[in-house]
Copies of this chain bind each other. A is one copy, B any other.
Amino acid sequence: MSLIVMKFGGSSVGTPERMERVAKRIIDRQSEGHDIIVVVSAMGDTTDDLIDQSKKLNPNPPAREMDMLLTVGEQISIALLSMTIHGLGGKAMSFTGWQAGIQTDQVHGKAKISDIDPQKLRQALADGNVAVVAGFQGSDENGQITTLGRGGSDTTAVALAAAIKADLCEIYTDVDGIYTTDPRIVKNARKLNEISYDEMLELAHLGAAVLHPRAVEYAKHYNVKLVVRSSFTQNEGTIVKEEANMEQGVVVSGIAFEKNVARISIMGVEDEPGVLAHVFGALADRSVNVDIIVQSGVEGGKADFSFTVSGDDREKAIATIESIRETVPYRETTSEDGLVKVSIVGAGMVSNHGVAATMFETISNLDVSIKMVSTSEIKVSCVIASEKLNEVVIALHTVYGLDASEQAFVGGPSERR
């Protein structure tokens, strides 16, 4: 007998029919002989509706009261899902975050889980119940209700799985699993059977947001075995674990991309200690999220550097840089938007040569110019013009052997990326 955590998102329980299908699935899983903890999000538009209601009364409500309001969404879901399980002849008990023993710090709106006391859940399971837990919420040491912020229900599921030493944490979603790339762009994109935590992190951060990065980090830290699978089909899904299967020479696991990227360059900056810290500190203070940062060489004591931000933040970023010109003098700034970032991700890159070179060559063969490059142990990213996105992704998907029913082999023997 295993202990399994099953997590369902808001769209999986958005209608009575879906709620019933989820309840059946839970009962089936339990009748296979497993102990089942379910984590569920707020149904469909509940959260947005509550936010709308609050905005009418106070456009800037206190975070504590917002948590009080929004946690209601998951509380409705757990109650209704438990009732539905009972209605189908099963046995279930619902638990709010605080009832499930989920303790957090005091940061309303984006609290971090500090501790979990799973005693009540264990008792409910021992009594033959499915334990249905509200995702996204907990309480601090003073009994204040908190929410975990974005991706909160995924995090609740993984954290519970870690605390209660579950054998498996299943993330049910509206896709079949993790794909080599977006099937809307590459028709023969392939579902991955396995992927490592690190690869999943790179993919998720890069826009394939099936599973929240924070939950993946948590899973990696506590070595919780994840499965991402569809709540609508019985397909196997994708396993996310420490060491994914690499025996078949799979070097690149997937192609990710991020749209609406802008590049900003600062030219002729005095090459002094602390300049970068000053620039990016100022941007962080104004909540401008910087992604890739590239500094080319220093010449005559002056440096040029470039970075990317979301296209929406371009104006704000430029204004910020202009505002600090007195402290950080520079010759000029340039910027460009209408860009995308394309990334190849794969744990196998570490031990394979020429992976990056193949990427650059493939892109250049399409006569597409690479504006910026960034690399990590398991990822290479290129910034290109957005109108070239589809053809680049399709070509990369093929060249790295990711197309369905092809064997993967990648990279030349001579060059280390």
- Which residues of A are interface residues toward B (Cβ below 8 A)? 16, 19-20, 50, 53-54, 56-62, 64-66, 68-69, 71-72, 75-76, 78-80, 82-84, 86-87, 92-94, 96, 98-99, 120, 143-145
The 8 closest A-B pairs by CB, nearest first: A58-B87, A69-B79, A61-B83, A68-B79, A58-B83, A57-B84, A65-B82, A72-B72
A82 to B, closest residue via Cβ: B65
**Contact yes or no, A79 B65, CB < 8 A:** yes
A80-B93 CB under 8 A given contacts A72-B72, A75-B75: no
13 A/B residue pairs, CB under 8 Å, sorted by A:
A54-B83, A57-B83, A57-B84, A58-B87, A64-B94, A65-B79, A65-B82, A65-B83, A68-B78, A68-B79, A69-B75, A69-B79, A99-B143
A20-B57 CB under 8 A given contacts A65-B82, A94-B65: yes
Q: How far is the CB of A126 from chain B (nearest CB, A)?
A: 15
**Contact yes or no, B87 A68, CB < 8 A:** no
**Contact yes or no, B69 A72, CB < 8 A:** no
A19 to B, closest residue via Cβ: B57
A86-B62 CB under 8 A given contacts A57-B19, A57-B20, A80-B57: yes
Query: Chain B contacts of A75 at CB under 8 A?
Result: 68-69, 71-72, 75
Query: Chain B contacts of A66 at CB under 8 A?
Result: 79, 83
Q: How far is the CB of A183 from chain B (nearest CB, A)?
A: 33
Q: How many copies are assembled?
A: 2
In-complex Cβ contact of A61 among B69, B78, B87 (8 A): B87
Q: How far is the CB of A280 from chain B (nearest CB, A)?
A: 34
Q: How far is the CB of A238 from chain B (nearest CB, A)?
A: 31
Q: How far is the CB of A26 from chain B (nearest CB, A)?
A: 14
Q: How far is the CA of A65 from the CA of B78 in the complex (A)?
A: 8
Query: Chain B contacts of A87 at CB under 8 A?
Result: 57-61
Q: How far is the CB of A135 from chain B (nearest CB, A)?
A: 15
Query: Chain B contacts of A58 at CB under 8 A?
Result: 83-84, 86-87
Query: Chain B contacts of A93 at CB under 8 A?
Result: 64
Identify which of A61, A80, A84 gathers the most chain B CB atoms within 10 Å of its CB.
Answer: A80
Query: Chain B contacts of A76 at CB under 8 A?
Result: 50, 53, 69, 72
Query: Chain B contacts of A83 at CB under 8 A?
Result: 54, 57-58, 61-62, 65-66, 69
Q: How far is the CA of A68 from the CA of B82 in the complex (A)?
A: 10
Q: How far is the CA of A82 from the CA of B143 in the complex (A)?
A: 18
Q: How far is the CA of A61 from the CA of B71 in the complex (A)?
A: 22
Query: Chain B contacts of A61 at CB under 8 A?
Result: 83, 86-87
In-complex Cβ contact of A65 among B50, B57, B86 (8 A): B86
Query: Chain B contacts of A86 at CB under 8 A?
Result: 58, 61-62, 65
Q: How far is the CB of A130 from chain B (nearest CB, A)?
A: 12
